[in-house]
Structure 1
Amino acid sequence: MTTLIAEGPVLLDIEDGIARVTLNRPEASNGVDVPTLQALHAAILRCHAEPTVRVVLLRGAGRNFCAGGDVKTFAAKGEDLPEYLREATAWLQIATSAMIQLKAPVVAVIQGFAAGGAGFGFVCAADLVVAADDARFFSGAVRVGMAPDAGTTVTLSRLVGLRRALDILLTNPTLSAAEALDLGIVSRVVPADELEAQAHELAAGLAAQPPLALAATKRLVWGGLGAGVEERLAEEARVVSELSGTADSREGLAAVLERRSPTFIGA
């Protein structure tokens, strides 16, 4: 095994053509902030640059894959949140775009929660998704007065259809792994105690396939989405930053931290 990034909020190692990119903030359920998104982008760029990489496993350390944005960090920014989110969403855009542009297939490995723009968005932006049978999926942006990002306004509707995508993004249900499989959000569901083994088996099978054919197939499928994900990323970032300056957004973040129901006033 070759370890390229051994510490920090994102780890990276490569073995037998399989790159493991691990979100490494388990104490925060791998919630993302600017340093984490910068580190993720750097790790993905290393995967771009390593000729031995045939497939990428995107993982989360600890109990949860990724809880989305780091709500505590966001709430602490107060009136400076719009400016902070302009930077955070910019890094989220380029990290998501870099993941989609990778020649190697990206397999997301999901345990616990995959939530918010980052967690749920990375699931939708991955090429294949292996989920533990007790995993849960949740958008949640509207609940805190914001809008979806990481490309989900394009990717989710392509995965599940327009009506179901709007239902998920507007009403924010918590989806079980079985429901996510039925909707086409995940590729396969496996017993929780077999998640790592089965994800590695899938990755090893992909690593044995002809890499040029895999890269071409991935490029053709993503390129056929019509309204491009990358075009939508910039507009999502603008809207998220704008909404984060509203009273409703501050109320939504406070309600999450205080574990209460929010009261929104439309301002």
Structure 2
Amino acid sequence: MTETDRQAVVAEGPVLLDLVGAVAHIRLNRPEASNGISIAFLKQFHDVIMRCHGDARIRAVLLSGEGANFCAGGDVREFASKGEELPDFLRQATAYLQICASGLIHLDAPVVAAVQGYAAGGGGLGLVCAADIVIAAENSKYLAGATRVGMAPDAGSSVVLPRLIGFRRAMDLLLTNRIMDANEAFESGLVSRVVPDDRLQEEASAIAQSLAAGAPKALSATKRLLWSGLGLSVDSCFPEEARTVSELSGTHDAREGLAAVIERRAANFTGR
């Protein structure tokens, strides 16, 4: 397929959707904010995913982020601006993010994520966890980030990440917020393949096109069996994740954590 075969389905806004043959290309489109998630972003992302669910032409999905980063997680400036209303705001944001992650997992079509730069928080690392195949650029980096701002992981990552990379390594990443590079992400099982930065889109697109040419019912059934085989249903963890994120976001430490990230300084957590 060439760019001349590309059909724009959703051509404006924070999340775009193109159809290239039988491949739906979802593009996170807030490059100026490192594709940080906002309510408007999540609402359009949900709409785009539902379009993919309802279009019988789609046999594979390619998920990518515009600009230097795949997705840097939640928009911390928007979070910080909510003040005392942050818990109510995050109840809505977390619900939309969980619906989006679940929507990707439950798509019949396999989802290929192409990751460059940072994949952080529920919007970045969480969506990586929700993809079926992850193609990583050599420059890609993976960061949990939630506890750094006094919150907890979401988008199902609290249950999926340990099953992908193991309990001990997941606990390390989620508690310490250390950055995992592409090679470690591959060796741990978080990503499927690592490719040169300048070949990321080409390689990911080729894999998506190859999947689109496969037997759709067999691929869908295989995807369903593997996700079911994780044991604990990802969907069953969403209510507890949402409750925890909302509850923590109302604490002094969460407000301090957000301020520290915005001001590029160390946070002073007090346990309040």
Under a length normalisation based on structure 1, what TM-score does the superposition of the two structures give?
Answer: 0.99
2:219 to 209, 214, 222: 214
Pairing of 1:170-209 with structure 2 (within 5 A) = 170-209=175-214
Give the Cα–Cα distance (whole angstroms) in 2 for the partners of residues 108 and 232 of structure 1: 23
* Secondary structure of 1:130 counterpart: strand
Give the CA deviation at 1:3: 1.2
Pairing of 1:102-117 with structure 2 (within 5 A) = 102-117=107-122
Give the CA deviation at 1:234: 1.5
Give the CA deviation at 1:164: 1.1
Aligned twin of 1:248: 253
* Secondary structure of 1:104 counterpart: coil
Number of positions where the alignment pairs a residue of Structure 1 with one of Structure 2: 267
* Secondary structure of 1:216 counterpart: helix
* Secondary structure of 1:159 counterpart: helix
Aligned twin of 2:234: 229
Give the Cα–Cα distance (whole angstroms) in 2 for the partners of residues 201 and 58 of structure 1: 13
Aligned twin of 2:61: 56
Question: Which blocks of at least 5 consecutive residues in structure 1 are unaligned?
Answer: none
Give the Cα–Cα distance (whole angstroms) in 1 for the partners of residues 9 and 242 of structure 2: 30
The residue type equivalent to 2:266 in the other structure is: S
Q: Is the 8 A contact 1:74 1:81 kept in 2?
A: yes
Q: Please provide the CA RMSD for this pair.
A: 0.6
Structure 1 residue runs of 4+, over 3 Å off?
A: none
Give the CA deviation at 1:225: 1.5
* Secondary structure of 2:269 counterpart: coil
% identity of equivalent residues: 58
Aligned twin of 1:157: 162
* Secondary structure of 1:261 counterpart: coil
Aligned twin of 1:142: 147
1:238 aligns with 2:243: yes
Aligned twin of 2:74: 69
Q: Deviations over 1:81-129 (max 9, x none)?
A: 0000000001011111111100000111101100011100000110000
Give the Cα–Cα distance (whole angstroms) in 1 for the partners of residues 188 and 42 of structure 2: 28
* Secondary structure of 2:64 counterpart: strand
Q: Is the 8 A contact 1:93 1:234 kept in 2?
A: no
Give the CA deviation at 1:236: 0.4
* Secondary structure of 2:158 counterpart: helix
The residue type equivalent to 2:61 in the other structure is: V
Under a length normalisation based on structure 2, what TM-score does the superposition of the two structures give?
Answer: 0.97
Give the CA deviation at 1:8: 0.4
